Amino acid sequence: MTANHPAVYRPGMRGSSRAVRAYGTAARTECPAGPSRVEADSSSQALLFVAGAVIAIATLVVYAPVWHHDFIALDDDVYVTDNRHVQAGLNADGIVWAFTTAHSSFWQPLTWLSHMTDCQLFGMNAGAHHLTNVALHIANVLLLLGALHGLTGTIWRSTLAAAVFALHPLHVESVAWVAERKDVLSTTAAFAALWAYSAYVKRPGRIRLAWPMLAFAVGLLAKPMIVTLPAVLLLLDWWPLDRLRTATPVALVAEKLPFFVLALGVSILTVVVAARTGAVVSLAHLSIGMRVQSALTARRSNVVVESIWEYGHGLFSDSSLEPAQIRGALQELLQVLSQQTGADRLRVQEVRQRLLNDIRGLTQ
C-alpha cells in the first residue's frame, strides 16, 4: 500500500470480508484516477443535483400555500405574537435575553434568534415566517440527500428516502407551524452533522471531526431534541459504514466522547430549566402509578400504521371522544393540579379556573 493510494473503505460497498479484502488489494495496485473515473463521478454528481432539484421543487409546491396562513393561538403567541423580545428584532438586549431566558421551558437561544431575525426582516407578516420554515425544511431535505449519499454511496435509494422525508404528512406540523421553528432548525444542524461525519469517515482527521461536532453544538442551541445524535453516529459506524472492521468499539465510542459530553450538558440544562419553570412534575405530586395509569388510558393509536398513512388529523383531531370522556380527563387533570404548591401556585390557580370553566361548558 502506498501513501498516495490508502485503502479506505467506501460507504455503499457490499460488506462481506472478502469484498473488503479485495478492495484493499485493489487499492495497493490502483492507478491514478483516469478520465472514466472522473466522468463517472461527474455523472453521479449531476444525477444527485437533478434529484435534489426535483425534490426541492416538489416540496416547495406542496408547502407553498402556507404563504397565506396566519399565526395561530397555540404557541405562536409564546414565540412571536405576544413576545415583545422577539418582536423587537435583533438587538443587544434581545440577544442577551435569548441566551439567558427559560421562556417556554426550553433553553433554545438559536430558535429565539431565528424568530427575532424574521421579525427584523418581515415584521409580523405571518406568511413570511411560515416560508422561513419551508426554506429550512427544503434545506433539510437536501442535507439529508447529501448525507445519505455520503454514507451509503447510493443515489436512487438516497433520493427515495429524502423524498419520503420531504413530503410525508407527519412533517406538516413542524413545517406549517411557526412555533415549530425549533424543530426544523435543529434538524438542519443535525443533518449537516451527518453529512460532515460522512466526509470525516472517508478522510479521518481532527479538523474534519470538528465540523460535525460544531454542527451538533449549533443544533443543540436550537432544540435539545438532537441529543441522541452521538448514538446515531455509533449506529452508522455499525451500518452502513461498517467501521467495526477497522476499529474497535472502544475506539469508536472514544471518538464520540466530545459529542456525548455536549449531549449530557444540554440534557442536564434542559431538565433544570424545565423543573424551574414547572414543565415537569416531581414524583411527590405525580406518582409512578398515576403516570402509568395516564399512559394506559391515553389515546390509543397504531403509531406504525399512522407513520405510513397519516390522514384526517389536526391539532385536536380525535373527534371520537365524547364530552363525558373529555370532562373526565379534565377532572383528573384538575385533581393533579390541586396538589401543586410552591412559587407557581398563582399560575396553577389560573389554570384550575380555566379547567373548571371548560368542565362547566361540557356539562351544559
Q: Rounded to whole angstroms, how far apart are CA atoms 339 and 344?
A: 12
What confidence tens digit (pLDDT) does each residue in 292-303 have? Answer: 776 666 555 555
Predicted confidence band of residue 276 (pLDDT cuts 50, 70, 90)? confident
| Nearest C-alpha neighbor of 202 from the set 265, 128, 149, 266 | 149
**Residue 267: is it exposed, middle or buried by C-beta count within 10 angstroms (0-12/13-18/19+)?**
middle
**CA atoms in the 13 A half-sphere facing the CB of 262:** 24
As given in the structure block, the three cell numbers for residue 142 are: 437536501
C-alpha span between 181 and 279 (Å, rounded): 20
pLDDT at 360: 61
Burial class (CB in 10 A: 0-12, 13-18, 19+), 139: middle
Reported as a pLDDT band with limits 50, 70 and 90, residue 350 is: low
- End-to-end, the C-alpha distance of the chain in Å comes to 83
Residues 6 or more apart whose CB falls under 8 angstroms from that of 120 comprise 89, 90
Is this model's pTM higher than 0.75 or not? yes
Res 221 pLDDT > 50? yes
| pLDDT recorded at residue 278 | 80
Q: Which helix or strand (DSSP H or E) is residue 208 part of? A: helix 206-222
309: helix, coil or strand?
A: coil
Per-residue pLDDT reduced to its tens digit, 72-109: 988 999 999 999 999 999 999 999 999 999 999 999 99
Q: How far apart are CA 201 and CA 221, in angstroms?
A: 25
- DSSP string of 237-256, one letter each residue: HHTTS-GGGTS-HHHHHHHT
104 Ramachandran zone, left/alpha/beta (phi>0; psi -120 to 50): left
Residue of higher predicted confidence among 349 and 175: 175
Report how far residue 85's alpha carbon sits from residue 80's, in angstroms, rounded to the nearest whole number.
9
DSSP 93-156: HHHHHHHH--GGGS--HHHHHHHHHHHHHHTT-HHHHHHHHHHHHHHHHHHHHHHHHHHH--SH
| pLDDT tens for each residue of 34-49 | 556 556 678 889 999 9
What is the Cα 363 distance to its own chain's centre?
Answer: 41
Residues 6+ apart with CB under 8 A from 118: 80, 128, 129, 132
Contact 319, 179 (CB under 8 A): no
* Residue 172 reports pLDDT greater than 60: yes
Mean pLDDT of all residues in the chain? 82
Which of 285 and 92 is assigned the larger pLDDT?
92
Look up residue 204 and give its three cell numbers: 479521518
* pLDDT at 290 (0 to 100): 75
Closest CA to 102 of 277, 279, 281: 277
Closest to 188 (Cα-Cα) out of 231, 233, 132 = 132
What percentage of the chain exceeds 70 in pLDDT?
A: 69
Give the start-to-end residue ranges of the domains of the chain.
1-32, 39-276, 288-363
